Amino acid sequence: MVLSHPAMATVLHVRIGDVSISLEGDVLKGRCESAFPYEPFFRDGKPDVRLYLHRGRFDTSGGEKVFECPPIWSLYRQNGRSFLEIFADLPGLERTLVLRHSQESADLYFSDTSDRFIDPFFGPTMELLMVHTLARGRGIILHGCGIAIGKRGVLFIGESGAGKSTLANLWCQKQGVHVLSDDRIIIRKAGGSFWMHGTPWHGTARFGSPISVPVERILFLRHGRKNAVTEVREIAAAAKLLSCSFPPHWDASGMAFTLELLHELVTRHPCGEFSFRPDKSAVEYLVAELDGKSA
């Protein structure tokens, strides 16, 4: 499914995790489209990051590979700057994300030089740009499902298959609950509190909302025969969060910030393991458990 943005221009603004990104360039001229998850995130405003779009290949000669996530993308360093080759083995989809010294801007090059429309949101490009941006003292992306119960935020953490989308489908049936995402959540600190933000990078349940809410509880998911919550100590919780995060492994300062952020997050919020049955009883159990913790 594809939806058109109403502004048929050369600039498109999205806001994800309270970070405003402008996409700028003639690639967008006359036809601004996006895969449907981004539609709720179209927001005008002053950009924190400008992403300049170009037709034509970026000169990658002399680049040294420093990290890769095969077969999707690889990160290289070249003359003090970094660039990511994305879909290098898929003709027509290849693109290169160039990260400038200044975190306020980046460049995206498309190998396709024809006049056809190229979707800049396709693939992991925006998420990779966000990983890079958040690592500069702003936050982190976690593999999780986030829900808002009024103004209370509960974060469910788990790898693929842990039950995030299952829980999202169960929670969305309960009145007063809003699902922020069923697969990717951004965590940022603002005003002395940790906030969780929905993202367009959804899971199989396809939930993605721009809403944000303060974090109240962190729960690590595990399928079980009965519903139960057991405490997880701070050190173990931080390790679990790191294993379910998207940190900049190639960036020493970014990793140092990430580890410090996760440590503070788990020391300020109760963490537990949520063993659950994949039915409505899991929601009712947890509502009672959360009310008990708040009492």
The Cα–Cα gap between 105 and 121 comes to: 17
Question: Following CA atoms 94, 99, 104, 106 in sequence, which dihedral angle do they give, to the nearest 10 degrees?
Answer: -30
Whether 86 and 186 map to the same domain: the answer is no
User: Which residues sit opposite 86 in a β-bridge?
Assistant: 73, 95
pTM: 0.93
pLDDT score, position 48: 96
Whether 109 and 203 map to the same domain: the answer is no
Whether 259 and 199 map to the same domain: the answer is yes
Structure letter (DSSP) for residue 101: S
Whether 146 and 222 map to the same domain: the answer is yes
Whether 8 and 104 map to the same domain: the answer is yes
Please say which residue of 134, 151, 172 terminates a domain: 134
Whether 11 and 110 map to the same domain: the answer is yes
Tens-place pLDDT, residues 90-144: 988 999 999 987 789 999 999 988 877 788 999 999 999 999 999 999 999 999 9
- The CATH number that applies at residue 144 is 3.40.50
pLDDT score, position 113: 81
Whether 128 and 151 map to the same domain: the answer is no
User: Which residues sit opposite 108 in a β-bridge?
Assistant: 53, 97
Whether 53 and 76 map to the same domain: the answer is yes
The Cα–Cα gap between 112 and 130 comes to: 24
Whether 130 and 180 map to the same domain: the answer is no
What's the length of the chain? Answer: 295
Whether 195 and 279 map to the same domain: the answer is yes
Q: Is the pLDDT of residue 2 over 50?
A: no
Cβ 83 vs Cβ 97: under 8 Å = yes
The Cα–Cα gap between 121 and 106 comes to: 15
Which of the four pLDDT bands, split at 50, 70 and 90, describes residue 32?
low
pLDDT score, position 30: 53
Distances from the Cα of 282 to the Cα of 158, 177, 224, 248, angstroms:
16, 14, 10, 34
* Structure tokens belonging to residue 113: 């030089």
Which of the four pLDDT bands, split at 50, 70 and 90, describes residue 7?
very low
Cis peptide before 71 (omega within 30 of 0): yes
The Cα–Cα gap between 43 and 194 comes to: 23
Please say which residue of 86, 105, 134 terminates a domain: 134
Whether 188 and 223 map to the same domain: the answer is yes
Tens-place pLDDT, residues 84-105: 999 999 988 999 999 987 789 9
Structure letter (DSSP) for residue 200: S
Tokens 């941006």 label which residue?
Answer: 133
Please say which residue of 83, 101, 134 terminates a domain: 134
Domain range enclosing 257: 139-294
pLDDT score, position 291: 83
Whether 55 and 127 map to the same domain: the answer is yes
In the chain, how many domains are there?
A: 2
Q: Is the pLDDT of residue 8 over 90?
A: no
* Structure tokens belonging to residue 198: 């929905």
CA-based max dimension of the chain: 62
Tens-place pLDDT, residues 220-239: 999 999 999 999 999 999 99
The Cα–Cα gap between 204 and 215 comes to: 24
